[in-house]
Amino acid sequence: MTKVYCIGEGLVTPVGSTVKEVLSAAREGRSGRLFDKGGFSGTSFFETIAIEAARKAIQGIEITPRTGLVLSTTKGNVEHIGKADISLAASALNIADAIGITASPIVVSNACISGIAALLQGVRMIRSGEYDEVVVIGAEVHSDFIHSGFDCLKALSPEPCRPFDKDRQGLNLGEAAAAMVLSARKGQWEITDGVIRNDANHISGPSRTGEGCYKCLRYVMEGVNKEDIAFISVHGTATPYNDEMESIALYRAGLSDVPVNALKGIFGHTLGAAGILEAIVSMAAFDSGIVLPTKGFHEMGVTYPVNVSAHERPAKGKLFLKLLSGFGGVNGAMVFRKGGAL
Amino acid sequence: MENLITELKLKIIDSLNLDGMTPEDIDDNAPLFGDDGLGLDSIDVLELIVLMEKSYGIRLDSPSKGKEVFRSIAVMAQYIADNRTK
Amino acid sequence: MKAVSIPSGANLTSLYRELVGNYPKFFKMDTLSKLGFLLTEMLVGDEEGRFTPREDRAVLVFSRNGCLANDLNYAKSMEDFPSPALFVYTLPNIVAGEISIRNKYEGETSAYVLEKYDRPLIDAIVRQAFQDRITRDAIVAWIDCPSDSEWTAMAWIETK
C-alpha cells in the first residue's frame, strides 16, 4: 500500500505561530487558549486563521489540480449564525480559493475527533491515487454558541483544566488552526495507520467500558510493536468521564505502562483543530527527543493505571499514537512513525 | 401541592419530549432515573436543571445535586415548594 | 443496490409510528437525526440478525448544511436558557451516532459536508472508506436539512 507522509505543517495558536514557538510553550507549560482579536477587521476569523495555517504548511509545495483539501472543524463560522451562510462547505470553498486549490474541498465534521477523521480522509485520498497532495486543515474559533453549550452541559472547568488529575473539574475551550500537507513523496513523518470506531452507546457520554476507544487501539496495534511506542498523546479533556474512559481503554489494550500525555492544559480543547494541532506538536516533541509534560496533572484520578507524564521525559521509541474521542460516540486513533522506518 | 405536582409533570413531559405520556402515567414516588421509572438519562438531568431555573428560579450547580433533587416527582415538588423564587 | 428516500416535509412522527413505534428516544432527536434514523429503518428493517453488535458496517452521512436547522433552534434557546438537549445535536455526526446506537453498529461513523450533492465525490469518499480493514459495507446517506420543514433525505447501502 502507498506510504503517506507529512511534508508540511503550519500552526496558528495563541501561544505561538511557528512549530518551534508552540513547542517551547508546551515544554515550559505556558498556556494560551484564546486569541487577542483586537486588530482583526475581516469577515471571518475562522477562515482567516485556517488560511494562515494552510499557507504556512504549503510553503514550497506546488498546488495543482491534483491537490486536495480536507477541512476539519466542528462549528466553523457559527458565531455568525442567523446573519450569514454559515455552512462549513461555504467556508471550505473560501479557504480553497484563498490558497489556490481547485479540487472540490471536503469537510469532515465528526465532533471532537474531526482532526483524526480529516487526516485519515487525507491519507485515504493519497492512497486512492487520485491526489498527489492533500492539505488537511483543522480550525476552531471561540463563540458564545459553543461556550454556552458546554456551559449548560456543566462540562467547563472553573480553573485551568487538569487532565487525569483527581481534582479535575472539566475542560477549557480553546481556539487554534493547524494544517498538514500529506503526500506519497517521502517526508520526515509517516502516517502508517488510522481508524474510527463508534461506542454505539450514548450520544454525549463516553462508553463505560471504553468500547470504541479500545477497538481503535486494538485496530492500530495490529501493525505496531508496543516497544516502539514512544508515547500516546491521549484526548485527555479533563472531564471526569473522558479521562476515566481512556484509562479503561488503555488498560484493556494492554497499554497501561506506555508513557501518556495530554496537551489540553496548554491549548484548551480546540475541538476541530485538536487532532492536527496535537499531532504536529507531538511530532516536534519527538524530534526533540522528549515526551511533553501533562500540564495540570498532579495526582492520579482515574480508576485504571495510566503512565501519565507529569513532567518532561526522554522519548524512546519509533512512533507515537494520537487518540481522540467525541460526541456521537466517536473515537479515533492514528499512528505517526518517524521517517517511516520500520 | 397537588397542583404543583400536576404542573411539574406537564412541564417535564413537555421539556423532555416524553411523547404520548400524560401526568397520570407518572407515579409521584417512582424513581425518575434508571430502568424502573421514566428511564431518564444524563442529558435529561441537565434539561431538568434548566427547567428548575427557568420555571422556579432555582439554580442547581451540579448534575449530582440535580440527581438528589430529581429522585421522584414528590421529592422534586417538595424541593420546589421550599426553594422557589418565582 | 437498495436505496430509500423521505420526501421533503413528510410527517416523521407518522412514519416513525408506522415503522418502529417503540423507541421513545426518537422524540428527543433533531430533524436530521430523525431522518437518518428513519432512512436506516427503511434500509435494514427486515435484515436478518439485526441488532447484533457489528464492527464491519460504516455509517457515512453527507450534507451541505450539516445540523443547521438544529443550530438555529439552539441559538434561539440561547436568548433565554440554553438547552442542553438541543446543544447535544449541534454536530453533524450525531445522526450517525443515533443510527449506531439503535443498530449496534460499532464500526466507523463519519459526517462530511460538501458544497452540493456531488455523487461522484460521495462515491469516491465511500470507496476510500473501504480502505478500513474491517469495514465490509456502509450505510451512506445524503441528508440536507436546512430547516425543520424542508429537506432532501436519501440513503443506500454500499458494499465493498
- Give A111-127 pLDDT, tens digit per residue: 999 999 999 999 999 99
Domain shared by A28 and A58, yes or no: yes
Q: Which of C72, C82, C121 sits opposite A149 (nearest CB)?
A: C82
Rounded to a whole number of angstroms, the distance from the CA of B68 to the nearest CA of chain C is 19
Task: Please give the mean pLDDT across all residues of chain C.
Answer: 97
Residues from chain C contacting residue A78 (CB–CB below 8 Å): 71
- Domain final residue pick, A160, A183, A206: A183
Q: Count A/B contacts: CB-CB distance under 8 Å.
A: 14
**pLDDT tens digits for C105-145?**
999 999 999 999 999 999 999 999 999 999 999 999 999 99
Instruction: Average the pLDDT over A24-43 and give the result.
Output: 95
Q: Using the 3D structure, point to which of A168, A183, A198 is the last residue of a domain.
A: A183
Asked if pLDDT for residue A63 goes beyond 80, the answer is yes
Tell me which chain C residues have a C-beta less than 8 angstroms from the C-beta of B50: 81-84
- In angstroms, the separation between the Cα of residue A312 and the nearest Cα of chain C is 34
Residues A70-100 have pLDDT tens digits of: 999 999 999 999 999 999 999 999 999 999 9
Q: How confident is the model at residue A340 (pLDDT cuts 50, 70, 90)?
A: low
Task: Give the domain extent around A78.
Answer: 5-183
Sequence length of chain B is 86
Mean pLDDT (whole number) for A2-30: 97
Beta-carbon separation of A152 and B46 below 8 A: yes
Q: Are residues A37 and A134 in the same domain?
A: yes
The bridge status of strand A176-183 relative to strand A133-140 is antiparallel
What are B's interface residues with C at a Cβ cutoff of 8 A? 15-19, 43-44, 46-47, 49-50, 53-54
Whether chain C has a CB inside 8 Å of the CB on A83: the answer is no
Of A127, A144, A329, the CB nearest to C97: A329
In the prediction, which pLDDT does A234 show?
98
A122 lies within 8 A of chain C by CB: no
How far apart are the C-alpha atoms of A329 and A200, rounded to whole Å?
Answer: 6
CA-based nearest residue in chain B for residue A203: B43
Q: What CATH number does residue A111 fall under?
A: 3.40.47.10
Measured between beta carbons, which residues in chain B are less than 8 angstroms from residue C24? 18-19
User: Which residues make Cβ contacts (< 8 Å) with residue A167, sequence separation at least 6?
Assistant: A298, A299, A301
A284 and A261 within one domain: yes
Q: Do A323 and A175 belong together in one domain? A: no
* Contact criterion met (CB < 8 Å) for B17 and C28: yes
Q: Does one domain contain both A266 and A245?
A: yes
Rounded mean pLDDT of chain A? 97
The pLDDT of residue A341: 43
Same domain, A227 and A321: yes
* 8 A C-beta contact, residue A131 and residue A68: yes
Indicate if A25 and A162 belong to the same structural domain.
Answer: yes
Mutation target among C81, C88, C91, C94 for the B interface, most CBs of B within 10 A: C81
Residue A154 in contact with partner chain B when CB distance is under 8 A: yes
- Kindly report, residue by residue over C31-49, the tens digit of the pLDDT: 999 999 999 999 999 999 9
| Tens digit of each residue's pLDDT (9 = 90 or more) over A260-314 | 999 999 999 999 999 999 999 999 999 999 999 999 999 999 999 999 999 999 9
Spell out the alpha helix ranges (H) of A1-110: 19-28, 45-57, 88-99
Q: Any bridge partners for residue A177, and if so which?
A: A12, A139
A154 contacts B42? CB cut-off 8 A: no
Return the biggest CA–CA distance within chain A. 53
> Which one of B42, B49, B50 has the shortest CB-CB distance to A205?
B42
C-beta atoms of C129 and A106 within 8 A: no
Predicted confidence band of residue B36 (pLDDT cuts 50, 70, 90): low
- The strand pairing partners of A165, in sequence order, are A300
Domain boundary among A183, A204, A223: A183
CB A269 within 8 A of CB A237: yes
Interface partners of chain C (CB pairs < 8 Å, 3 or more) are A, B
Lowest mean pLDDT among A45-49, A139-143, B64-68: B64-68
Say if residue A155 is in the same domain as residue A14: yes
- Of A321, A275, A332, nearest to A138 by C-alpha is A275
Of the listed ranges A31-35, A203-207, A274-278, C85-89, the one predicted with least confidence: A203-207
The verdict on a CB contact (< 8 Å) between A198 and C107 is yes
| Residue B62: per-residue pLDDT | 82
The one-character DSSP state at A79 is G
Backbone angles phi, psi at A62, to 5 degrees: -80, 130
Tell me whether residues B46 and C81 touch, CB distance under 8 A.
no
Cβ of B43 within 8 Å of Cβ of C84? The answer is: yes
Q: Could you tell me if A45 and A78 are in contact, meaning their C-beta atoms sit under 8 angstroms apart?
A: no
Phi-psi region at A200: left, alpha or beta (left = phi > 0; alpha = psi -120 to 50):
left
A316: contact with B, CB 8 A cutoff: no
In angstroms, the Cα distances linking C50 to C9, C15, C57, C122 are 29, 20, 12, 26
A131, A41: one domain: yes
Mean pLDDT, residues A213-218: 98
| Chain C residue numbers touching B25 (CB-CB < 8 A) | none
Model confidence at A342, pLDDT cuts 50, 70, 90, reads: very low
Minimum Cα–Cα distance from B63: chain A residue: A154
Quickly list DSSP for B14-76: HHTT-TT--GGGS-TTS-SBSTTTT-B-HHHHHHHHHHHHHHH-----SHHHHHHHTS-HHHH
Same domain (yes/no): A161, A258: no
Whether A157 and A261 share a structural domain: no
pLDDT at B39 over 80: no
What is the tally of structural domains in chain A?
2
Query: Is the same domain home to A64 and A177?
Result: yes
- ipTM beyond cut 0.95: yes
Q: Do C88 and A197 touch (CB under 8 A)?
A: no
Against chain B, the chains showing at least 3 CB pairs within 8 Å are A, C
User: What does pLDDT average to over chain B?
Assistant: 90
Q: How far is C110 from chain B (nearest CA, A)?
A: 23
pLDDT band with cut points at 50, 70 and 90 for residue A39: confident
